[in-house]
């Protein structure tokens, strides 16, 4: 969920990089000239990525000019959709699902690790400015609960120890592997199959 107000320490100016501007021009060609506003969500998404993970006043101004929209209209979109952050989130933005299936499978422990290793309060940058965390509602990976999303990746089948290891690895600049952290393929059951165990039933397809 986005923090509700645009941060005050906005950069003075924002502009798409040259390749992103090329991309933006191509998107605009898909719409009539008086319907440029239709691009606001994908443009905000790309601007957020190029602006270090959040939308600030400079981004809103830039897109309001580009799309012929009042700044308040752009801001309304930013404040409505939880995919947009309005304050710095750091290089590693951790979203912890705490909805019922994840909660039943131990999301409280995952939150505890985030509090210990990132910051006591959600939506707060870590001391080194590289991390932040927040609680979110179901991210649609309940069969692999508990789980978190870090930037664009899901990390599933977590426990306290594994979560701590992932954060430590990121802090040391190491690569981490997304997906199930307990080696299962997608959301297959752990261990032997308990149903559809006869390949003849489904033509043997993987
Ligand atoms: S409840 Fe956590 S992913 Fe659905």
Which atom belonging to ligand 1 lies closest to the Cα atom of 139?
Answer: 3
* Architecture of the CATH domain 92-180: 3-Layer(aba) Sandwich (3.40)
Question: CA 163 → CA 55, 150, 201, distances in Å?
Answer: 28, 11, 38
Helix (H, G, I), strand (E, B) or coil at 134: strand
The answer for residues whose C-beta is within 8 angstroms of residue 155's C-beta and 6 or more apart is 147, 148, 149, 163, 166, 176, 178, 179, 181
pTM given for the model: 0.85
Per residue in 9-44, pLDDT tens?
A: 555 799 999 999 999 999 999 999 999 999 999 999
Which CATH class for the 18-80 domain?
mainly alpha
Give ligand 1 pocket residues (Cβ under 6 A). 97, 99, 101-102, 138-142, 145, 147
CA distance 99 to 115: 18
CA of 107 to the centre of ligand 1 (A): 10
Of 7 and 150, the structure prediction assigns the larger pLDDT to: 150
In the chain, CATH 3.40.30.10 covers 92-180
In the chain, CATH 1.10.10 covers 18-80
- pLDDT (0 to 100) of residue 3: 45
- pLDDT (0 to 100) of residue 200: 83
Q: Which two structure tokens, joined as six digits, stand for 204?
A: 């043997």
- pLDDT confidence band for 1 (50 / 70 / 90): very low
């Amino acid at each position: 969920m986005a923090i509700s107000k645009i941060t005050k320490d906005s950069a003075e100016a924002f502009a798409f990089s040259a390749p992103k501007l090329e991309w933006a021009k191509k998107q605009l060609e898909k719409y009539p000239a008086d319907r440029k506003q239709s691009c606001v969500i994908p443009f905000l998404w790309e601007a957020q990525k190029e602006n270090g993970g959040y939308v600030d006043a400079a981004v809103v101004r830039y897109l309001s000019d580009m799309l012929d929209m009042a700044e308040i209209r752009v801001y309304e979109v930013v404040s409505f959709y939880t995919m947009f952050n309005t304050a710095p989130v750091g290089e590693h933005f951790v979203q912890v699902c705490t909805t019922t299936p994840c909660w039943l499978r131990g999301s409280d422990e995952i939150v505890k690790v985030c509090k210990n290793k990132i910051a006591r309060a959600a939506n707060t940058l870590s001391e080194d400015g590289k991390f932040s965390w927040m609680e979110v509602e179901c991210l649609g990976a309940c069969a692999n609960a508990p789980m978190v999303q870090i930037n664009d990746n899901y990390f599933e089948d977590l426990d306290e120890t594994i979560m701590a290891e992932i954060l430590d690895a990121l802090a040391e600049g190491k690569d981490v592997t997304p997906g199930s952290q307990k080696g299962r393929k997608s959301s297959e059951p752990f261990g032997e199959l308990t149903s559809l165990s006869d390949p003849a039933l489904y033509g043997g397809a993987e």
